[in-house]
Chains A and B, each alone.
Chain A
Amino acid sequence: TQLLEQSPQFLSIQEGENLTVYCNSSSVFSSLQWYRQEPGEGPVLLVTVVTGGEVKKLKRLTFQFGDARKDSSLHITAAQPGDTGLYLCAVTLNNLFFGTGTRLTVIP
């Protein structure tokens, strides 16, 4: 059983649509990070959420940490082809532990 379950695994949508991806666990975490990885590159940190219920916005991306600090969601408004990539959530244990990711494709 994965510590972090990300869903969906794959998502293909048309440009302009909205979407939400999820990162779930049965464990409680002190913080959670979201990364985006583009083909041929390393992951890039998007945001860190710390407080239960916290919402952070990064342009068209909205990140939410669950009230119980066990889960998180990433919502993208009006997706664009540049949003294509692998979205990874990660939590701090002894070190940084990653989920297996959601692979998003935005079709022009």
Chain B
Amino acid sequence: EAQVTQNPRYLITVTGKKLTVTCSQNMNHEYMSWYRQDPGLGLRQIYYSMNVEVTDKGDVPEGYKVSRKEKRNFPLILESPSPNQTSLYFCASSLSGPFHGYTFGSGTRLTVV
């Protein structure tokens, strides 16, 4: 089944403890992206990647890192999480760019205390 898989689905952590949210897609898509979703603010893009080793900042990149060493994987790294990063995170992929629409994962609900 074609899908974007994120792990974990739920995560509670403490301020300052480094964490990684994994994302993998099995559709051989070139584009991958991370969004966060917050009440009243909607979906906002954190980082995106147009291909292996090619990444760029989205609208809210502060406090996040990403890497794209393989086409299928696009992990999101929070080096020192803070409570304002408590949010619902989505990974998404697209065959060749946002014009073709994104396939989203099921989300990771992160709470930083």
Residues of A within 8 A of B (CB): 30-31, 33, 40-45, 48, 88, 92, 95-101
* B43 neighbours in A (Cβ, 8 Å): 43, 88, 98
Query: A96–B35 Cα gap in the complex (Å)?
Result: 10
Instruction: Produce 1/0 per residue, B63-97, CB < 8 A to A.
Output: 00000000000000000000000000010100001
Contact pick for A41, options B35, B40, B107, CB 8 Å: B107
Which of the listed residues B35, B99, B101 has the most CB atoms from chain A within 10 Å of its own CB? B101
Interface range, B side: 20 to 34
Query: A45–B43 Cα gap in the complex (Å)?
Result: 14
Nearest 6 interchain pairs by C-beta: A42-B104, A100-B42, A96-B98, A45-B101, A98-B43, A92-B98
> In the complex the two chains form, is A40's CB within 8 Å of B107's CB?
yes
Instruction: Produce 1/0 per residue, B32-60, CB < 8 A to A.
Output: 01010000111111001000000000110
Given contacts A33-B101, A48-B99, A92-B97, 5 further A-B contacts (CB under 8 A): A40-B106, A41-B107, A45-B102, A92-B99, A97-B45
> In the complex the two chains form, is A43's CB within 8 Å of B98's CB?
no
> In the complex the two chains form, is B106's CB within 8 Å of A100's CB?
no
> In the complex the two chains form, is B41's CB within 8 Å of A100's CB?
yes
* A101 neighbours in B (Cβ, 8 Å): 42
* B106 neighbours in A (Cβ, 8 Å): 40-42
20 A-B pairs (CB sep. < 8 Å): A30-B99, A31-B99, A40-B106, A41-B106, A42-B90, A42-B104, A42-B107, A43-B102, A43-B104, A44-B104, A88-B42, A88-B43, A95-B58, A95-B98, A96-B98, A96-B102, A98-B42, A98-B43, A100-B41, A101-B42
